[in-house]
Structure 1
Amino acid sequence: MTTAALTAVLLAGVGGTPAPALVAAARQRTAISDPARYVNPFVGTRQGAVDYGNGGGAGNTFPGAGAPLGMVQWSPDTVTYQHGGYLYDDQRIRGFSLTHISGAGCGDYGNIPFLPILGDTPVGHETFSHDHESAAPGSYTVTFDNGLRTELTATQHSGIARFTYPAGQTASLTVDAGRAFNHADGTLTIGTDSISGYTDSGGFCGTGNRYRIYFTARFDHPFIRAGIVHDGRLDTGRRSATGGSEGIAPQPPRTAAAQALPDGHRTPRQAPHPDAPDTGSGAQALVSFDTGSGAPVTARVGISFTSAEGARANLDAEQAAGPGLDRVRDTTRAAWNDMLGRIAVAGGTTKQLRTFYTALYHAFLHPSVLSDVDGRYPGFDGTVHSTAPGRAQYADFSGWDVYRSQVQLIALLAPGKASDIAQSILNQGAQAGYFDRWTLADGGTAVMTGDPLPMIAAAVHAFGATDFDAAGLLKLALAGRGDSRERPGHAAYDSLGYLPVNTPGEWGTVASTLEYTSADFALAQLAGRLGDTADHDALLRRSAGWRNLFNPAGGYLQPRDAEHGWPDFRPTQRDGYTEGDGSQYTWMVPFNHRGLFDAMGGDRAVVTRLDGFFEQLNAGPDSAHAYLGNEPSLNTPWTYDYAGRPDRTADVVRRAVTTLFGDTPDGEAGNDDLGEMSSWAVWGSIGLYPQVPGRAELVLASPLFPRITITRGTGAAIDISAPGASEQVRYVHALRVDGAPSGRPWVGAELAARGGTMEYRLAADPDPAWGRDPRDAPPSFDVGPAHPVTGEVTGAGGKCLDVRRGTAAAVPARLRDCDGTDAQRWTPAGDGTLRALGRCLDGYRSGTADGTPVSLRDCDGTGAQQWWPRPDGSLYNPSAGRCLDLPGGRTADGTGLQLWDCNGEAWQRWRTPR
């Protein structure tokens, strides 16, 4: 294969054709040469913060070779295990396995390790020094203490290794088809100069997922000695074997089922960071080569999740013409430079450049290509499928994590591949019959909470990655809302508007409710873009369910029982939440901060509360402070923008980017979660963030770099200038967007769609005025009318809803003759409430049963004060699940109103102001 052809193969995996070259234009463009030189793949391989028990205090990345979004990630695995396979502090390598996941909080993959050795006796590991080790995007090199040198690089579906053995030594190598990070079984066959076979493994986070990987390895030297390792000894009379091994990866409980078990019964329980055994699996080959000429041994390896033929075809397609390792390495680096260069930055320190481009690199390791070069891939239904020509099927979706900002980054920079990712999600769901939350290879795991995969598709669609069956995905996602596999507790959620405590199948009922409301909001936005008004409106109203968990007594989103009662609560409790607590999850209403902030007492109260929250940036999951080493806190620094304090967003984001991320092995404060944490660092460094699920507006902090150009691969580009930007110079004093002055701490979706310019004036001190006007706040999205109208609410007999006379705490709502007084002037407000005399109509302070009286009370942001007009004219209170009703249809003056089962009768029909 020619270099040009190989480049095309690699680029097809990251965005179709190469991005247009950055050329001089009317506006200043930033370009960068070889951004790969700033990437340190070792970042995230050493603990960088306290291990709070949610996957470790390191990034859990791997330093080995892979192409962007590639199937093969050929990387070293140390004897002491860390998720990702490599612990920087252990200088013992037990093998170079072909597959990895970057940054997960559980272990999987690590399949089919290769280990070059000296002599003809198998060993469990070799030692090395970091002084003799290097890594770069697409390549890895190490020289063992015994002088044996290994060089690795990879394409989308294959890898190539070069082993240079010291002169005068017996040159050998082991390959183990029955070893992975988890329990594995495998089979292999040895030829004259090849080894092939397959491995079966799985068990991510202790779940039951399984996958099979086929491989074929061809060597440029024939074997002079070969056999199967059995009980630590080489049996040269055997050329094939089947065997297995136990896993070494600790599997913390990350599913609702595992969390429901009492402590001490959550299996499997393994010691943290166990050392890998030195013995093979029984499916381990040992081969030796004649290297008397001094020539190194080259191995080319293809893999496939589909078939043995697929592994051979993948290898033939990408390396049949035999490009040498150096050429493959350079071509893969060029593919990385194409992707990394789509955000070109200028200025900044070397450390900042290294931190930034390393984060961008980690953000584009996953999801991983699953389909072969011919488009065939194993489906979630156990059968083989084929993609459309020119398309790819992707796997490895860390859904709970990456829906927040990683997939939006992919969609911004590679919308073609983001469309394939969305279609892959639809394919998974169609084949399985539902959308799983965390998928690996060709199966689901049910790990974590919520309903994130439809959100991923909605997000990339918002950013212009629309080349997939969006209508089909929406249809399947709507069906999945009623599937217990996809949404445990859906019946309670749909009837009560929240998940009550002790909902079966759920881990953290508050967390899951908030995940469901975000998913419903994102799906509403997708439905709206597709012209589906009915589903848009219904889903948007479901997204208001967070109000049902807001307790105005304390101002937190907290657990609630099925009778609408409030169990005992502490803001730092973890019960009811997922890898976080009440203090951290209360901010997780990213689509309606305005509604949340009003319920909390307004912007001033919110800013004071946020200031205390960010006194610590990474305090752990049971703290009153932020936990930016994990996902539930990631949106929170940007919420200041909605409260009129963008200077605080700029400050917190800059502090987080420069203190929680770095350019050394300990440069991540929490597991990277397949690129989510790294994507956050990228967004934070450019001063933009996709805060709202399913939409493409971007809220602002400030750029870390003086000049930035973002190239989308579509011809659109965003040029950002911020003279003097630095770690200290972080506060916005003025902004021009496309040449026009702007006081808004956000930009509309058109910037991502069409490109444009942003010109900042920054300073080291905050500006007391910029971005403070409430009219300039980023948009929040609620369920009421965008332009409220005030007037009478009339019911049966043409009489009016009236709230005259009553106590200061509550005024009974009654039916009276219309008289035009303020007690009968109602405003259906934008937040879904019905207001009069500056207060809100309240549904169930006395309960939710039929006959519960309705009254006027202080507005508190809860679901009890939501009133949604329905097509039949009724007013529906979603939290109670009942309608505004006249007892017995009586229309006499002074008749008190009540909640009652919706029945379509005339006395439940109301005419609201229009």
Structure 2
Amino acid sequence: MKQVILLFTLILFAVSCSKNISKNHNNTQILTKYVNPFIGTGGHGHTYPGATVPFGMLQVTPVNGISGWDWCSGYHYSDSIAVGFSHLALSGTGIGDLADIIFMPVNKEVNIVKMPKSRDSLDYKSLYNHKNENASPGYYQVYLEDHNINVELTTSKRTAYHKYTFKANDEQSVVIDLGFAINWDKATSSGLKVEDDFTISGHRFSTGWAKNQKVFFVAKFSKPIIGYHLAADNKSVDTKDIKGVKTAAQLFFNDIENNELQVKVALSSVGIENAKANLEASGFEFESVKAKAENTWNEVLSKITVDTDTDSLKTIFYTAMYHAHVAPVTFSDKNGEYRKENDEIATAKDFTAYSTLSLWDTFRAEHPLLTLTSPNVVSDIINSMLSYYETKNILPVWTLYANETNTMTGYHSIPVIVEAYLKGIKGFDAEKAYEAMKTTMMQDERGLNHYKKYGYIPYNLLDESVTITLEYAYDDWCVAQMAKALGKEDDYKLFLNRSKAYEHLFDKGTGFMRGKSIDGVSWHEPFDPKYSNHREHTDYTEGNAWQHSWFVPHAVEDLAMLHGGNEIFTERLEQLFTESSEITGTNVSADISGLIGQYAHGNEPSHHIAYMFNGVGKPWRTQFMSRQILDSQYNTSPNGLSGNEDCGQMSAWYVLSSVGLYPMNPASTEYEIGSPIFDTSTFNLPNGKTFTIEAEHVSDKNIYIQSATLNGEPFNNTSISHETILNGGILHFVMGASPNKDWGTTKTEF
């Protein structure tokens, strides 16, 4: 009997060890293999395929050299010509700045004196084929057919690494072009200096969307420079140090018996000496840097692990996780210094300064996702915003390379700050943050003077008046919540009252938010809810009345009452998704894409709408619509995004929605529950705990929640708090093919 017991014990021990080994294996699995950086490089996704690390300073990536909306990142999958490899790029925006500091390896002498206006006359451009092109997190490779050169790129946080493999006995040369520009960008000053046999430095100042962009760089080569040509403003210059508006260099190298040439490049917004300090001191350890970049990405991707038998879903999910951690980008140098818009040099003390803050987009899901995966980055982003406030006495709208672009509407740094504070994220001065928010919302810029005077913005005083009013109302609600948390009761009442501004613009006769005149009575006529006029003479930003009339995420129940009750409200919500997808007008916004009826998933104002059914007692409709969006608006092709990626927002929507959660109102600190698509999804939280979402019987047909438990107890809520998730545990859903209209209609107390 003792032998039987011993045998049984050994079996149990072996099974336990097997489970632990399996668990440990899962925790260290290679998730980067599921990432496809080419997703979003086609269509209107506007992503780039080049190498970067999470929130890295550099984006070293191919440039096609075309000026066009779909080449905003510098690259589009439909193209097959490269003009070089730049070190700064925007991920998925509709803006065409950056593509700075272009390097291009060539195997012959080329004409750099003539500064062309387009790529057609560039001597150094080259054809490439997607069959000889690869990308993975932290790595990019392409073969340049015209020069017979294989190009490989990788990067650390502040240093880019290039590896060029030439054909045997070919001339080895590199062109650096600081004058070439695409889209909005235009060089205003540039310079190059051959510092020694291995090193070249320089600067490029430009204007465009960012009016005062200053980039300094240093590049160190693995072989000595044996000759060079320098040119400035269409003239050849016989000196080691040149300056002009447009400058370029061609460098030549010896040791052609060694086919490989490497170069490492670092940038700075402050100056060349800072760029030198940012440059990694070690040698040309391309493979080890590449491996480190991959490991860093794997750590980030592992913060949420999903289990499914469908590999394509893993590819979409982990690519979305990848894109959601590309921006914002590191802006401060190793010594903490960074340049402000007024050219003041500031120092980030005890934080990293970030730029590329696409806040109109990213406050919706990107920043909420980061509160779960990277709370330390969130606090640094807020400190970066407060640094901007110190200079301008107002919070940022959309910052690029320290420049305020004032692009898009609202002040959505505010919900990012309030969400972080209410979620318990530390590392920034809450009182200073509150001062910044209140000061921002009490000033008179960007229509706030009209908003304060009338309680809304009259359409005959400012374009996009409906969108701006609704977004200011939400920002006010957010300020009110932080005022309440800080015990500022009078401010709480003031901003809470202002947050009802949406009531002024709701037209009961049509059921839409409409432009209202200065008289407080007259509507903007004629009215067509499908009409779009891009960014001018319009009441809506990049959309129409169908898409913008739902932006009251802080008061869904009140909005339903304005419509006449839950039934009328849900009927109109249903109509949004079933209405004809026709968009009327002669200047329709290209951003209106990814249409399901009049719902436009390709642009951010629609992103919360499917989750509004939860707030009016019909969660099964949220489950149906969120799953329809997940299934129809994302795929594994280069056209796999239905609209601009917008610095992580489009992907963050997928990451959270696919596990069954969405922050419809981010500053509420609640996540709405939708329809999970994975068997299990596990958040490996920064506090060391795990929160797992299980979806029993889930499939492409079993999309409806039948029942749920949280840590074994019945769970009947359509939302879950950030605090509950941080406490860890298991949220278990049983899924089915038909809606359970009883689940989620009465709340469970916890």
TM norm structure 1: 0.73
Q: Which residue of 1 aligns with 2:125?
A: 125
Task: Tell me the distance in 1 between the aligned counterparts of 2:151 and 2:198.
Answer: 19
Structure 2 residue matching 1:446: 3-state secondary structure: coil
Conserved? CA contact 2:385–2:396, under 8 Å: no
Q: Which residue of 2 aligns with 1:95?
A: 84
Shift of 1:334: 0.8
Conserved? CA contact 1:30–1:346, under 8 Å: no
Q: Does 1:521 align with 2:477?
A: yes
Q: Does 1:350 align with 2:306?
A: no
Shift of 1:645: 1.6
Q: Which residue of 1 aligns with 2:460?
A: 502
- Which of 713, 717, 740 does residue 767 from structure 1 map onto? 740
Q: Which residue of 2 aligns with 1:643?
A: 616
Q: Does 1:615 align with 2:578?
A: yes
Task: Tell me the distance in 2 between the aligned counterparts of 1:401 and 1:660.
Answer: 17
User: Residue deviations 1:69-92, cap 9 Å, x none?
Assistant: 011100001133411110111110
Change (3 A) 1:500 1:177: same
- Which of 421, 439, 450 does residue 492 from structure 1 map onto? 450
User: Residue deviations 1:10-35, cap 9 Å, x none?
Assistant: xxxxxxxxxxxxx969x999746111
Q: Which residue of 2 aligns with 1:573?
A: 531
Q: Which residue of 2 aligns with 1:871?
A: none
Task: Tell me the distance in 1 between the aligned counterparts of 2:332 and 2:630.
Answer: 36
Task: Tell me the distance in 2 between the aligned counterparts of 1:387 and 1:643.
Answer: 45
Aligned-partner residue type, residue 202 of structure 1: T
Q: Which residue of 2 aligns with 1:110?
A: 99
Shift of 1:606: 1.9
Unaligned runs of 5+ in 2: 1-18, 112-122, 533-537, 584-588
Structure 1 residue matching 2:503: 3-state secondary structure: helix
Change (3 A) 1:215 1:616: farther
User: Residue deviations 1:826-847, cap 9 Å, x none?
Assistant: xxxxxxxxxxxxxxxxxxxxxx
User: Residue deviations 1:416-438, cap 9 Å, x none?
Assistant: 11111111111111112212311
Change (3 A) 1:134 1:29: closer
Q: Does 1:183 align with 2:186?
A: yes
Q: Does 1:290 align with 2:254?
A: yes
Matches within 5 A, 1:727-766: 727-766=700-739
Aligned-partner residue type, residue 674 of structure 2: A
- Which of 307, 311, 324 does residue 275 from structure 2 map onto? 311
Q: Which residue of 2 aligns with 1:7?
A: none
Matches within 5 A, 1:400-411: 400-411=360-371
Q: Which residue of 2 aligns with 1:588?
A: 551
Q: Which residue of 1 aligns with 2:135?
A: 135
Conserved? CA contact 2:714–2:748, under 8 Å: no
Task: Tell me the distance in 2 between the aligned counterparts of 1:562 and 1:618.
Answer: 32
Q: Which residue of 2 aligns with 1:202?
A: 207
Change (3 A) 1:608 1:32: farther
Shift of 1:323: 5.4
User: Residue deviations 1:455-477, cap 9 Å, x none?
Assistant: 22222323332221121011022
Matches within 5 A, 1:300-699: 300-315=264-279, 319-322=280-283, 324-389=285-350, 391-485=351-445, 488-503=446-461, 506-567=462-523, 568=525, 569-574=527-532, 575-615=538-578, 625-699=598-672
Structure 1 residue matching 2:379: 3-state secondary structure: helix
Task: Tell me the distance in 1 between the aligned counterparts of 2:207 and 2:689.
Answer: 41
Structure 2 residue matching 1:489: 3-state secondary structure: helix
Structure 1 residue matching 2:600: 3-state secondary structure: coil
Structure 1 residue matching 2:693: 3-state secondary structure: strand
Q: Which residue of 1 aligns with 2:65?
A: 79
Conserved? CA contact 1:78–1:86, under 8 Å: yes
Q: Which residue of 2 aligns with 1:240?
A: 241
Task: Tell me the distance in 1 between the aligned counterparts of 2:78 and 2:581.
Answer: 23
Aligned-partner residue type, residue 331 of structure 1: K
Task: Tell me the distance in 2 between the aligned counterparts of 1:529 and 1:164.
Answer: 59
Change (3 A) 1:220 1:760: same
Conserved? CA contact 1:591–1:693, under 8 Å: no
User: Residue deviations 1:713-755, cap 9 Å, x none?
Assistant: 2223211111232333211001112221111111123223323
Structure 2 residue matching 1:425: 3-state secondary structure: helix
Which segment drifts farther, 111-120 or 288-297? 288-297
Task: Tell me the distance in 2 between the aligned counterparts of 1:323 and 1:91.
Answer: 29
Matches within 5 A, 1:731-880: 731-773=704-746
Matches within 5 A, 1:225-236: 225-229=227-231, 235=236
Conserved? CA contact 1:190–1:285, under 8 Å: no
Aligned-partner residue type, residue 188 of structure 1: L
Shift of 1:329: 0.6
Shift of 1:239: 2.4
Structure 1 residue matching 2:668: 3-state secondary structure: coil
Change (3 A) 1:752 1:306: farther
User: Residue deviations 1:272-295, cap 9 Å, x none?
Assistant: xxxxxxxxx4x1110111242324
Aligned-partner residue type, residue 183 of structure 1: K
Greater helix share, structure number: 2
User: Residue deviations 1:308-348, cap 9 Å, x none?
Assistant: 11100011xxx212251100011011111111110101114
Conserved? CA contact 1:227–1:239, under 8 Å: no
Structure 2 residue matching 1:359: 3-state secondary structure: helix
Structure 2 residue matching 1:167: 3-state secondary structure: coil
User: Residue deviations 1:808-834, cap 9 Å, x none?
Assistant: xxxxxxxxxxxxxxxxxxxxxxxxxxx
Change (3 A) 1:761 1:728: same
Shift of 1:526: 2.1
Aligned-partner residue type, residue 131 of structure 1: K
Aligned-residue Cα RMSD (Å) equals 2.3
Structure 2 residue matching 1:65: 3-state secondary structure: coil
Structure 2 residue matching 1:502: 3-state secondary structure: coil
Task: Tell me the distance in 1 between the aligned counterparts of 2:95 and 2:104.
Answer: 24
Conserved? CA contact 1:98–1:110, under 8 Å: yes
Shift of 1:491: 2.6
Structure 1 residue matching 2:499: 3-state secondary structure: helix
Shift of 1:199: 0.6
Conserved? CA contact 1:400–1:438, under 8 Å: yes
Aligned-partner residue type, residue 240 of structure 1: D
Q: How many residues align?
A: 695
Unaligned runs of 5+ in 1: 1-22, 48-57, 245-280, 779-914
Q: Does 1:220 align with 2:222?
A: yes
Task: Tell me the distance in 2 between the aligned counterparts of 1:73 and 1:451.
Answer: 27
Conserved? CA contact 2:685–2:726, under 8 Å: no
Structure 2 residue matching 1:64: 3-state secondary structure: coil
Shift of 1:761: 0.3
Task: Tell me the distance in 2 between the aligned counterparts of 1:87 and 1:219.
Answer: 29
Change (3 A) 1:593 1:212: same
Task: Tell me the distance in 1 between the aligned counterparts of 2:444 and 2:684.
Answer: 41
Name the larger-Rg structure. 1
Conserved? CA contact 1:523–1:694, under 8 Å: no
User: Residue deviations 1:477-514, cap 9 Å, x none?
Assistant: 211123233xx2223212321111122xx431010001
Q: Which residue of 1 aligns with 2:52?
A: 66
Structure 2 residue matching 1:120: 3-state secondary structure: coil
Task: Tell me the distance in 1 between the aligned counterparts of 2:611 and 2:453.
Answer: 32
Structure 2 residue matching 1:143: 3-state secondary structure: strand
TM norm structure 2: 0.89
Change (3 A) 1:532 1:757: farther
Aligned-partner residue type, residue 39 of structure 2: V
Task: Tell me the distance in 1 between the aligned counterparts of 2:342 and 2:87.
Answer: 25
Shift of 1:557: 1.4
Task: Tell me the distance in 2 between the aligned counterparts of 1:529 and 1:348.
Answer: 45
Which segment drifts farther, 299-308 or 617-626? 617-626
Task: Tell me the distance in 1 between the aligned counterparts of 2:422 and 2:211.
Answer: 31
Task: Tell me the distance in 2 between the aligned counterparts of 1:581 and 1:176.
Answer: 42
